[in-house]
Amino acid sequence: MSAPHGTARSETSPVTAAEFAACLAAFSPSKSLAVAFSGGPDSLALLILAAQWARRRKGVSLHAFTVDHGLRAASAAEAKQAAALARRLGVPHRTLRWEGIKPASGIQAAARDARYQLLRDACQEVDAGDLLVAHHLEDQAETFLLRLARGSGVDGLAAMPPARRLAEGGSPVRLLRPLLGISQSRLAATIAKSGLVPILDPSNEDDRFDRVRARKALALLAPLGLDAARLARTAGQMARAREALEAEAAALLSTHAVLSPFGHVEMERGPLIAAPPETGLRALAVLIRIVGGADYAPRLDALEAVYAAISEGTLGRGRTLGGVKLALKGHIVLATRETAAAKRAPSFVLKTGEEGLWDGRFHIRIRKAPRGTLLEVHALGEEGLAALRMSDVVLPAVPAAILQTLPGLWREGALVGAPHLGTLGCGVVAAVSLRRMAWLEPSKAPENAEKKGNEPGAGTW
Which of 350, 193, 333 has the alpha carbon at shortest distance from 269? 333
Question: How many CB atoms sit inside 10 A of residue 343's CB?
Answer: 15
Q: What is the pTM of this model?
A: 0.77
Model pLDDT, residue 177: 98
pLDDT confidence bin for 179, thresholds 50/70/90: very high
> pLDDT tier at 297 (50, 70, 90 boundaries)?
confident
pLDDT for 252 beyond 50: yes
pLDDT at 3 over 60: no
C-beta of residue 69 within 8 angstroms of C-beta of residue 118: no
Q: What length is written for the chain?
A: 461
For 284-301, letters b (16+ CB in 10 Å) and e give: bbbbbbbbbbbeebbeee
CA distance 441 to 363: 19
How far is residue 267's CA from residue 287's CA, in Å, rounded to a whole number? 9
Spatial neighbors of 69 by CB under 8 A, at least 6 apart, are: 75, 98, 111, 114, 115
- Domain annotation for the chain: domains and CATH numbers: 17-226 (3.40.50.620), 249-340 (3.30.465), 342-434 (no CATH)
Neighbours of 311 (CB within 10 A): 15
Residue 450 has pLDDT above 70, yes or no: no
Q: Are 40 and 201 in contact (CB under 8 A)?
A: yes
Q: Among residues 151, 133, 125, which one has the least CA distance to residue 44?
A: 133
Report how far Cα 32 is from the mean position of its chain's Cα atoms: 20
Q: Which residues contact 275 (CB under 8 A, 6 or more apart)?
A: 248, 252, 283
Q: Quick one: pLDDT band at residue 155, thresholds 50, 70, 90?
A: confident
pLDDT at residue 302 greater than cutoff 90: yes
pLDDT at 151: 82
Mean pLDDT of the chain: 88
Beta strand spans in 139-292 (E): 163-167, 173-176, 257-259, 265-268
Beta-carbon-side half-sphere exposure of residue 337 (alpha carbons within 13 Å): 33
DSSP string, 434-448: EPP-GGGS-TTS-TT
- C-beta of residue 59 within 8 angstroms of C-beta of residue 88: no
Q: Is 51 left (phi over 0), alpha (psi -120 to 50) or beta?
A: alpha
Residues 185-230 pLDDT 10s: 999 999 999 999 999 877 777 777 788 888 888 888 888 889 999 9
Q: Which helix (H) or strand (E) holds 349?
A: strand 348-350
- Give start and end residues of each alpha helix (H) in 11-105: 17-25, 41-55, 75-88
Residue 410 forms beta bridges with which residues?
376, 415
List the helix and strand counts (H, then E) for the chain: 15, 19
pLDDT band at 455; cut points 50, 70, 90: very low
Rounded CA separation 378/382 (Å)? 12
DSSP state at residue 332: E
DSSP annotation of 423: E
Contact yes or no for 47/18 (Cβ under 8 A): no
16 to each of 6, 190, 336, 357, how far by Cα in Å? 10, 8, 52, 41
